Amino acid sequence: MDWKNSDLISMRGVGRDAIEKVLRGAARYDAAAREKKFLKELDGRLLATLFFEPSTRTQFSFRTAMLRMGGNVIGFSDAQVTSVSKGETVHDTMKFIEGCADIVAIRHPNDGAAQVAADSCGVPVINAGDGANEHPTQALVDLFTMQKEKKAIDGLAILMLGDLKYGRTVHSLLHALCNFNDVTVLLQSPPALKMPSELVHEARGHLKVREVEKLDFSDADVVYATRIQRERFADPDEYKKYSYRIDAEKLRELKSDAVLLHPLPRVGEIDPEIDSDARAAYFRQENNGIPVRMAVLKEILG
Ligand code: NCD
């Protein structure tokens, strides 16, 4: 895959070279930011952030990334203030936006909406989360975090837990991990929230995937916890049945050099009491969102 001017809708089909290019760029921006050096490499370029669903980290890190690179940002985070509230389609919205911006980051509650947006406009579109489908830039943030924390992604055993059915971040991450060598993915979730079988099947051609019944941290180098996606259930109270909590007691099972990740927001899955444990890496992970998105914007627009 060549990043230049391309859309980023799915991690399926993004190869190792393309991933490593972004990880190298992110490392460079990360180091520059530590020295408070902001590289104005996208001077005068314009990003539109179209957020039809709530977001804190993804939206702010896209905006911050563009501004730190000298670009500008327009957008909305509440579709109620746009013509969408009058019934306008994503297609028609995009036809207008392509005349305004050089690149678009879109988040939408419907699976497939980012692809529709990309098909409707002539400027590159980045999927910032489409329903329960995918969230490719989060997967790049997750890979960057694993590499930073564990030095290499090859050879890791990664336990994914929580809502693997509706959690879009784990779908993108599973695709992305298929590029690495000797990776084992352990999947643990309530039976009703299992990783979609077609994704498991696809991944099995590239990595070892094991669905496990018992929640046991002891074999994992990385534990990747996810939120039960309340907003995706037809009955909004159903999600309560699936709540779980990682606390100090549970953390005792985790290897001393393993890390606990979570794309955040957390809503009770992780006891704040363990935040100070060195293995709790989710706040470091969220901060990686900015350099990784800087690298993605630079590769596509550069
Ligand atoms: C995730 C998302 O929106 O998919 N958050 C994020 O982007 N960091 C995870 C979630 O909402 O549970």
The pTM of the whole model exceeds 0.75: yes
**pLDDT, tens digit (0-9, with 9 covering 90-100), for 205-222:** 999 999 999 999 999 999
**pLDDT, tens digit (0-9, with 9 covering 90-100), for 222-275:** 999 999 999 999 887 888 899 999 999 999 999 999 999 999 999 999 999 999
Please tell me the distance between residue 46's alpha carbon and the centre of ligand 1 in angstroms. 24
List residues bridging with 50 in a β-sheet: 76, 106
* Burial profile 100-111: b = 16 or more Cβ within 10 angstroms, e = fewer: ebbbbbbbbeee
Residue of the CA atom closest to atom 8 of ligand 1: 263
Question: Residue with structure tokens 């400027």?
Answer: 123
From the CA of 57, give the closest atom in ligand 1: 8
Please tell me the distance between residue 127's alpha carbon and the centre of ligand 1 in angstroms. 12
Give the binding-site residues of ligand 1, using a 6 Å CB cut-off.
Answer: 57-58, 129, 135, 138, 168-169, 227, 263-264
Residue of the CA atom closest to atom 7 of ligand 1: 58
Cis check for the bond before 265: say yes or no (omega within 30 of 0). yes
The per-residue DSSP string of 1-51 comes to: ---TT--B--STT--HHHHHHHHHHHHHHHHHHHTT----TTTT-EEEEEE
Give the pLDDT band of residue 82 (cuts 50, 70, 90): confident
From the CA of 128, give the closest atom in ligand 1: 7
Residue of the CA atom closest to atom 12 of ligand 1: 227
Please tell me the distance between residue 279's alpha carbon and the centre of ligand 1 in angstroms. 21
Residue 46 phi/psi, 5-degree rounding, is -125, 125
**pLDDT, tens digit (0-9, with 9 covering 90-100), for 109-121:** 999 999 999 999 9
- Is residue 36 over pLDDT 90? no
Please tell me the distance between residue 97's alpha carbon and the centre of ligand 1 in angstroms. 24
Q: How many CA atoms lie within 13 A of 1 on its CB side?
A: 22
Please tell me the distance between residue 185's alpha carbon and the centre of ligand 1 in angstroms. 20
